[in-house]
């Protein structure tokens, strides 16, 4: 384990898979004190084994009471937080021909409401660190590049991430007077178990290690918008500010109906 000259107290959710797991391993190896949350107590135990700077906090972030209790547990163990990193989330894609509100609610539960519960529990810990240790605490959340522009089949996932981004950016304005920073992370496609389930092309997909480097560098600089890979996210941002008619035409090119019709015309 390498020791950073300025170790932080950190709460990381979604810590046992994909970007979250890679972040957890890196933060622990760098010597930070890290409270790690995920649903699987068994996976958390394996992740924290051999790390006396780790605190396993098994948690379903869609359970508000459990999140509140987790915050209290971390307060007792750490006495405050310099960084709360909200990374837990899920993804399902909607087929509009079989409109499924239950699917939308399943996606919003962790991606948006779970994030709200975690913010509610984390803010007192961030304030504690600021007031008692002179820290400049930071609240960060993993959104998605899909929050920049509407995409086919992303009604649930994209909307949940857009809601999270908007909420965090608005909260940033109100927390500025308290000297609590807010960063929003907008990844493009990253090679994780979650994206392995995708059944469509994922342009410019990057490795988990590349994602972790970009996130940690952005957090260190307290960037407002941590987005990567930039050659992809700038294109998505550009799509998001195009006139509605042009956005619609570009979006239609990505829909499955169009792809299916094109394939049928070729046979």
Annotated catalytic sites, by residue? 157
Residue identified by tokens 């046992």 is: 16
Helix axes 115-133, 155-175, angle to 10 degrees: 20
Q: Which residue has the tokens 């304005």?
A: 173
Q: In the chain, what is the straight-line distance between the N-terminal and C-terminal CA atoms, in Å?
A: 59
Written as one string, the DSSP assignment of 129-157 is HHHHH----EEEEE--GGGGS--TT-HHH
Give the pair of three-digit tokens for residue 107: 């996606």
Q: CA angle, corner 215, sides to 11 and 33, nearest 5?
A: 30
Rg of the chain taking only CA atoms, in angstroms? 19
């Amino acid at each position: 384990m390498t020791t950073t000259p300025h170790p932080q107290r950190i709460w990381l959710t979604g810590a046992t898979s994909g970007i979250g797991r890679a972040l957890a391993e890196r933060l622990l190896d760098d010597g930070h004190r890290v409270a790690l949350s995920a649903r699987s107590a068994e996976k958390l135990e394996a992740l924290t084994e051999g790390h006396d700077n780790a605190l396993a906090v098994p948690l379903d972030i869609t359970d508000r009471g459990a999140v509140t209790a987790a915050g209290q547990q971390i307060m007792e163990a750490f006495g405050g937080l310099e960084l709360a990193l909200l990374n837990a989330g899920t993804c399902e894609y909607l087929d509009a021909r079989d409109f499924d509100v239950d699917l939308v609610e399943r996606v919003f539960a962790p991606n948006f409401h779970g994030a709200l519960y975690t913010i509610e529990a984390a803010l007192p810990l961030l304030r504690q660190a600021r007031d008692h240790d002179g820290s400049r605490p930071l609240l960060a959340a993993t959104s998605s590049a899909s929050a920049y522009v509407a995409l086919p089949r992303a009604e649930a996932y994209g909307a949940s991430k857009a809601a999270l981004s908007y909420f965090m950016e608005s909260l940033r304005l109100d927390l500025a007077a308290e000297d609590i920073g807010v960063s929003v992370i907008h990844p493009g496609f990253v090679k994780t178990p979650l994206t392995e389930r995708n059944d469509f092309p994922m342009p410019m997909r990057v490795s988990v290690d590349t994602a972790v480097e970009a996130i940690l560098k952005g957090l260190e600089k307290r960037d407002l918008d941590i987005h990567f890979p930039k050659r992809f996210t700038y294109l998505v941002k550009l799509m998001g500010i195009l006139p509605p008619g042009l956005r619609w035409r570009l979006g239609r090119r990505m829909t499955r109906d169009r792809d299916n019709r094109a394939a049928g015309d070729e046979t």
